[in-house]
Amino acid sequence: MASLAGSFYLLFDSVLLESRLSSSAQVDADQIKLFASATLRGGVRASANLKSDTSLGVRTAEGNGGLPKVLLSSVRGSEAEIYLFGACITSWKPAGGKDLLFLRPDAVFNGQKPISGGIPHCFPQFGPGPMQQHGFARNLEWNLLDSENSRDEPAVTLKLEDSLYTRSMWDFGFQALYKVRLQGKSLSTSLTITNTDLKPFSFTTALHTYFRASISGALVKGLKGCRTLNKDPDPTNPVEGKEERDVVTFPGFVDCIYLGASNELLLENGLGDTLTIKNTDWPDAVLWNPNTQMESSYREFVCVENAQIGVVQMEPGQSWVAEQHISLT
């Protein structure tokens, strides 16, 4: 869980952002002083008494395990929830109210382990490798950098930078910016990685998106013709191939990388919903379902991930940007 000092600065920054950017609520200097005083006395929990009375736009709140989170709510009826720990989007409800993301029942909110479910980050490493599985970005608290407190299309930008902890695994200076925007029936993200070091570095990355689904009816379209790396039956020795199917289903264990994937995939979740997953500059895709390796929940979700499997080489000062746009059709 974030320290008291960390919680104070997070929430104090949130008030300043709302004061500067909100068109629906203003926070004056006395409120900021009161907010700071209450936070120092009571930690994150004190924030609940000082929120705007409107539920639309961008709000901060205390989440599970006392972890801070950001809530986005649109006048169109859509909602999203983002934990600063891991910059993990844990809930997305388009207008109509049904959550289209999936949180695993074994998800923990203790600030020590990555949140299992929603849209976790894989950076600066996808999969296993010299550092922890999927890198460190999903296992650190990001900072709230900016917000657009719009009643129509609220947005928030989170930031992660190098630290002694990250440099112990990956000795480079970097900045990661993650912008999340909510619309009535869609959710958009933009990830920007910048090399702030004096030497080049390389990385791989992905958005490990868990979609709520019925495994028996879920299917994905748009992958035909892709070169594949299939980790079934041996995850340590992927089998190269080519996707020949128009429609990909999940009949058993699925862990397959699709290289050079289309920038638009279609997911039918088996629950009556059809989602379009568009992207800009995410060149690859991953499908994953653990089947009986996760007996308690595998029937309830599928992972359809935008990914950068090939290594990105970046010189000092260079940036890499990739966008994702998920919509209910």
Euclidean distance between CA atoms 115 and 118, whole angstroms: 8
Q: Kindly state the tokens that stand for 317.
A: 């000062």
Q: Choose, from 18, 81, 300, 305, the residue flagged as catalytic.
A: 305
Euclidean distance between CA atoms 248 and 326, whole angstroms: 19
Q: Could you give the 3-state DSSP secondary structure of residue 33?
A: helix
Euclidean distance between CA atoms 152 and 75, whole angstroms: 5
Q: Kindly state the tokens that stand for 58.
A: 């961008």
Return the bridge partners of 249, or none: 219
Closest CA to 222 of 248, 242, 241: 248
Q: Kindly state the tokens that stand for 255.
A: 């862990």
Q: Kindly state the tokens that stand for 125.
A: 């490493």
Return the bridge partners of 229, or none: 240, 257
**Is position 264 annotated as part of the catalytic site?**
no
Q: Kindly state the tokens that stand for 254.
A: 């699925």
**Is position 208 annotated as part of the catalytic site?**
yes
Euclidean distance between CA atoms 33 and 27, whole angstroms: 10
Closest CA to 88 of 103, 74, 99: 103
Euclidean distance between CA atoms 137 and 211, whole angstroms: 20
Which residue reads 């609520």 in tokens? 25
Closest CA to 203 of 131, 262, 115: 131
Q: Choose, from 208, 243, 268, 300, the residue flagged as catalytic.
A: 208
Active site residues: 208, 305
